[in-house]
Amino acid sequence: MPWVTEEQIAKAKQVDILAYLLEHEPNNLKKTGHEYRLRDHDSLTVSNGKWHWHSRGFGGTTALNYLIRVRGMEFTEAVQALVYEARAGPFPAVPGKPPPPKKPKAFALPARNRNNDRAFAYLRSRGIDQDILRKCMETKILYEGRKYHNCVFVGQRNEKGRVRFACVRAITGGFRQDIEGSDKRYGFLLPAAAPPGEVVMVAEAPIDALSMATMQKYRSAGWNSLHYLSLSGVSPLALLHFLQEHSKVSHIVLGLDQDKTGLEAVEKIRAAVYEDEGLRDRTLCITVSPPHIGKDYNEALLAEIRALREQRSRPDRAAVSII
């Protein structure tokens, strides 16, 4: 587990919730009267330095509370994320009366490193298939950032051909974050490379989407006829946009995390799909398929790899389903 100091915890607790949301989730905020609401959780309001999730009956006063209780981060992971951003300077203080929303910062991809060696090695250590990684890097939907050598997962392009989403994952520690100005509708996607392309496998994080692809690759020759989509959390925005852009898709497999946040999000995503005006004429089947072991699909993949290695080390080993 990542380690954080008391000083880092104190700094993280000072980060104001509205300042954080204006900086990192501007496209997810909407002003309603004297308060703000989240687009992906419309019962969550922010006002006077506090946030409250009315449908769940709880709230808080800081960005640290928010990242842990709403975004499902571990405590140390949330502290690291807030302290990491604070390197560039403190978050602005927010007075009692909310200021007018500031103009969102223009989206820009992080500078690329001259090679992807460290990112490739890190993702291989997470069990991701090397051919899948090479494909992602060749198609420029995955690369290594220059400054911090993070894994940069590049989302889909809009109708003008411009990338509108990216997120980073540190190769050391637990830091991960959407790039400022990202639009969650254009989440990370490993598209089907062969017909029929009628199924989309959905995960919360890009590494889990690639873990699903890896597990499918070693179990089925038709793994590359499926789409693999990351929501970058539990918001349905990426899935709804994907379905509107891919009319042939008829089957959705929800592989969200096996935790409280993931399990609760399943029903909300199901409702969002079936209630969407643009999808009402579509026949869409939704299968809920959480990881069979561990919290997420990467943990499940690593567990299968460990089991395989143990089995191979025994003289009387039997056949297994993965690598």
Element (H, E) at 154: strand 151-154
**Angle CA 31–32–33, to nearest 5:** 110
Residue 317 confidence (pLDDT): 53
249-278 confidence digits (pLDDT tens): 999 999 999 999 999 999 999 999 999 989
In DSSP terms, 153 is beta-bridged to: 142, 167
**What count of Cα atoms within 13 Å lies in the side-chain half-sphere of residue 154?**
19
Q: Where are the domains of the chain?
A: 6-86, 117-312
pLDDT of residue 93: 46
In the prediction, which pLDDT does 91 show?
A: 47
The reported pLDDT for the residue numbered 19 is 87
- Per-residue confidence (pLDDT) for residue 94, from 0 to 100: 45
117-312 CATH fold: Dna Topoisomerase Vi A Subunit; Chain: A, domain 2 (3.40.1360)
Residue 216, pLDDT score: 96
In angstroms, rounded to a whole number, what is the distance separating the alpha carbons of residues 93 and 77? Answer: 23
Tokens of 164: 């509108």
Under CATH, domain 6-86 is a member of which superfamily? Answer: Zinc finger, CHC2-typedomain (3.90.580.10)
pLDDT for 85 equals: 56
Q: What is residue 95's predicted lDDT score, i.e. its pLDDT?
A: 46
pTM of this prediction?
Answer: 0.69
Question: Is the separation of the CB atoms in 136 and 210 below 8 Å?
Answer: yes
CA-CA-CA-CA dihedral for 179, 77, 143, 124, to nearest 10: -160
Strand, coil or helix: 300: helix
Residue 127's closest CA among 62, 53, 218, 41? 218
In this predicted structure, what is the pLDDT of residue 49?
85
Q: Which residues contact 84 (CB under 8 A, 6 or more apart)?
A: 175, 177
Q: Each residue of 152-207: pLDDT tens digit?
A: 999 999 999 999 999 999 999 888 999 988 999 999 999 999 888 999 999 999 99
pLDDT of residue 20: 87
Q: Which of 170, 162, 154, 178 is nearest to 27 (CA)?
A: 178
Q: β-strand 251-254 against 285-288: which pairing, if any?
A: parallel
Residue 248's pLDDT is: 95
Q: What is the pLDDT of residue 254?
A: 98
For the chain (323 residues), the mean pLDDT of every run of 10, in chain order, is: 75 88 86 85 86 83 89 83 60 50 79 97 97 98 96 96 96 90 95 93 98 95 95 94 96 96 93 91 96 96 93 66 48
